[in-house]
């Protein structure tokens, strides 16, 4: 029997979901949190991105989560929201990363889960090619499918698709990043600066 690592027993089992905006050093990010954990973390739109040398500003929630007594209130959802904020703050500041929040991959195919897990194993400051990810999951001919799965990645940074690049040439070949190549290059440079 396979273990389901996506479920978090500390979350309430009701069907509530909250969508929060987070103020981050790169601009506003959006997090969607449900009963199974964090199901989406989105980059700012290209026009809202702030790509500066100062990435150590704290990550804060914009607005408020539902208050106690509200139908969408759940202490478990708030714990995940706090964990997302703490993880992002550590990421941007170059500090050791805390345990990631519970992640919800329930809408993903088995192939997507395997691609995303292999991508999560790429150390900060390093890159892999789409072909290397395909080989890592035992599907060496599935380079384009890997690119497609990464393009559908709902959990940016936690599934660090910015670390996956085109193969060949020896230098960093950036391609295929839905949030824009400027942000991809910025994140790779940030990780190299703060982690290496």
Are 88 and 22 in contact, with CB atoms under 8 Å apart? Answer: yes
Q: What percent of the chain has pLDDT over 90?
A: 36
22: pLDDT strictly greater than 60: yes
What pLDDT digit, counting tens, does each position of 119-176 carry? 999 998 898 999 999 999 999 999 999 999 999 999 999 999 999 988 764 445 766 6
pLDDT digits (tens, 9 = 90+) for 25-58: 888 899 999 888 999 998 877 777 776 655 566 6
The predicted structure's pLDDT at residue 187: 87
Other beta carbons within 10 angstroms of residue 135's beta carbon come to: 17
The reported pLDDT for the residue numbered 12 is 41
150/123 Cα distance (integer angstroms): 17
pTM value > 0.75: yes
- Least reliable range by pLDDT among 13-17, 126-130, 184-188: 13-17
Active-site residue, from 134, 161, 165, 190:
161
Integer-rounded Cα Rg, in Å, for the chain is: 17
Predicted confidence (pLDDT) at residue 179 exceeds the cutoff of 80: no
Q: Are 20 and 177 in contact (CB under 8 A)?
A: no
- List helix spans (H) across the chain: 75-93, 110-120, 130-136, 143-151, 181-195
In CATH terms, 110-195 corresponds, of 3.40.50.720, 3.30.2290.10, 1.25.40.80, 1.10.10.10, to 1.10.10.10
User: Where are the domain boundaries for CATH 1.10.10.10 in the chain?
Assistant: 110-195
Beta strands in 4-163, from DSSP E residues, in sequence order: 17-24, 27-34, 37-42, 60-62, 128-129
**Strand 27-34 to strand 37-42: parallel, antiparallel, or no bridges (unpaired)?**
antiparallel
Tell me, yes or no, if 161 is annotated catalytic. Answer: yes
Q: What is the mean pLDDT of the chain?
A: 79
Q: Which pLDDT value is given to residue 44? A: 79
pLDDT at 60: 65
């Amino acid at each position: 029997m396979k273990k389901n690592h996506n479920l978090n027993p500390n979350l309430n089992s009701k069907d509530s979901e909250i969508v929060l905006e987070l103020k981050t050093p790169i601009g506003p990010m959006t997090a969607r949190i449900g009963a199974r954990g964090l199901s989406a973390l989105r980059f700012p739109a290209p026009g809202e991105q702030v790509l500066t040398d100062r990435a150590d500003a704290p990550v804060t929630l914009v607005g408020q989560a539902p208050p106690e007594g509200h139908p969408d209130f759940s202490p478990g959802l708030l714990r995940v929201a706090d964990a997302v904020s703490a993880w992002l703050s550590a990421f941007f500041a170059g500090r050791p990363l805390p345990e990631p929040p519970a992640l919800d991959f329930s809408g993903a195919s088995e192939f997507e889960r395997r691609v995303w897990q292999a991508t999560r194993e790429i150390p900060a400051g390093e890159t892999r090619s789409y072909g290397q990810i395909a080989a890592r999951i035992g599907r060496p001919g599935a380079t384009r499918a890997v690119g497609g799965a990464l393009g559908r990645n709902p959990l940016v940074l936690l599934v660090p698709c910015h670390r996956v690049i085109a193969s060949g040439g020896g230098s960093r070949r950036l391609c295929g990043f839905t949030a824009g190549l400027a942000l991809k290059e910025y994140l790779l440079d940030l990780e190299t600066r703060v982690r290496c």
